[in-house]
Structure 1
Amino acid sequence: MNVLFVLIPASLFLSGLGLCAFLWTVKNMQYDDTEGSSARILLDEEDLQHGNADDTGQWS
């Protein structure tokens, strides 16, 4: 029973720390580019290095 007096505050502290880390990532716009990674995997590395994009911003 005495161990609960240690485990409950420790779990509340760790969950609060995780919530703060999540809110920090949202504040710093870490989740804004939802399409970029899925499109980047389909592109050639040469296109990414040379910046070969047409007028519409689509990669050629």
Structure 2
Amino acid sequence: MEGLIYLIPAALFLGLIGLIAFMWALKSGQFEDLDGAAERILFDDENAPAAKPLETDEAKSRTPRRS
């Protein structure tokens, strides 16, 4: 029971810190565009260069080397 003297104020203090952090996130616009990042991955960038396929060890061994 003596531990509650320390635990209740600590829990209230941590809850207050969490509430302040949440209010800061709301005011700074952290929750403005919730779907943007989720949908951005579905669409290709038009200006991005196409990625080259990586050469595997098998592909390197099949092609003759020029000296």
Alignment TM-score, normalising by the size of structure 1: 0.71
Q: Is 2:42 the counterpart of 1:28? A: no
Q: How many residues align?
A: 48
Relative to its length, the structure with more helix (as a share) is 1
Partner of 1:37: 37
CA distance in 2, matches of 1:17, 1:6: 17
Q: Unmatched 5+ residue regions in structure 1?
A: 52-60
Give the fraction of aligned pairs with identical amino acids, expressed as a percent.
48
Moved over 4 A (4+): none
Q: What is the Cα deviation at residue 35 of structure 1?
A: 2.2
CA distance in 1, matches of 2:4, 2:35: 45
Instruction: Give the RMSD, CA atoms, in angstroms.
Output: 1.7
Larger RCO (alpha carbons 8 Å, 6+ apart)? 1
Greater C-alpha radius of gyration: 2
